[in-house]
Amino acid sequence: MRTVKTASGATAVQIVYSNRRGSRAMDHIGSAHDEAELAALRAVANQRLAAGQGELDLGLDTVGAAGAPLPIVASRMGHLWDGLCRAYDSPGLLADPISRQRYAQC
């Protein structure tokens, strides 16, 4: 979803699906002349983007305040890094000293 200024000074709301070699596939949602119209057009665009997107039920019973999703309080990239190191090391891609120096954490 994007917003662009029109020649008349309004703000157009568009959904861009594809952008290849200078040509774009997009849907024009509408043009807004004030903040209330812009908010309404953005809501319509969000509904169109979410159409057909089911919600994955993870079976979690806990939610944050007012039904909002729980905040992410930490993330660890160590598991991903360990997997990448093993993937590169197993075929011998980290066997030479230059590669070992470049990827010293492995």
Kindly write down the DSSP assignment for every residue of 43-76, as one continuous string.
Answer: HHHHHHHHTT-PPP--------GGGPPPPP----
Global confidence as pTM: 0.49
Q: Residue 66 to residues 62, 63, 70: CA-CA distances in angstroms?
A: 11, 8, 11
Taking the domains of the chain in order of start, what are their residue ranges? 2-49, 76-106
Q: What is the mean pLDDT of residues 44-59?
A: 83
What whole-number distance in Å separates Cα of residue 71 and Cα of residue 56? 17
Lowest average pLDDT, out of 14-18, 41-45, 49-53, 69-73, goes to 69-73
Q: How many CA atoms lie within 13 A of 9 on its CB side?
A: 2
Q: What is the structure's pLDDT at 8?
A: 93
Q: What is the mean pLDDT of residues 73-92?
A: 76
Highest mean pLDDT among 13-17, 49-53, 57-61, 86-90: 13-17
Give CA angle at 16 (40, 45), nearest 5°. 20
